[in-house]
Amino acid sequence: MSPVVVPADDKKEVDGFIKETKKVIDRAFSDIAKSSNTKQLVFGTASGWFTGYIGMKVGKVAAVGLGSGIILLHLANQGGYVNINWDKIHKNVDNISEKIEKETNKRSSAWLDKIIEFMKTNSYYSAGFAGGVFFGIASS
């Protein structure tokens, strides 16, 4: 599987978008830390509900799409329309999962430290967010 090549202009645009998004998120989270406990709890619950609701909707669509795609591929394989080399697929999946695991292990400690620090300094927001996620999942 060859990597996707992104044109230089698109890469600059994507990098600029990522930097701008990080600035907005950092600004929003710094404002949260300065607000009252009640505002943190309300904002945490609202953003948690939104995250849980959207996560469930996207998850359902992804599950239906992926599941039906696998079923159709399997039926096409059984009908003789396609011949699937399962050994090659399993080998590629193992290689890709190893690469992903290496990358996430490199980055996970920094993200985890940031998340833990944010949760410690904004406990009301974090509690509201956790509860809001459950409400969002339940309401979808």
Please report the pLDDT score of residue 54 as a whole number. 93
Please report the pLDDT score of residue 7 as a whole number. 59
Interior/surface letters 63-87, b for 16+ CB within 10 angstroms, e for the rest = eeeeeeeeeeeeeeeeeeeeeeeee
Please report the pLDDT score of residue 21 as a whole number. 81
33: Cβ contacts below 8 Å, ≥ 6 apart: 121, 122
Interior/surface letters 88-127, b for 16+ CB within 10 angstroms, e for the rest = eeeeeeeeeeeeeeeeeeeeeeeeeeeeeeeeeebebbbb
Please report the pLDDT score of residue 4 as a whole number. 53
pLDDT along the chain (140 residues), means of 10: 56 80 77 80 89 92 92 88 85 89 72 81 87 88
Please report the pLDDT score of residue 108 as a whole number. 63
Check residue 35 and report its DSSP letter: S
Please report the pLDDT score of residue 73 as a whole number. 86
Find tokens 């009301």 and name the residue.
124
As given in the structure block, the two tokens for residue 65 are: 């799409």
Check residue 81 and report its DSSP letter: S
pTM to 2 decimals? 0.58
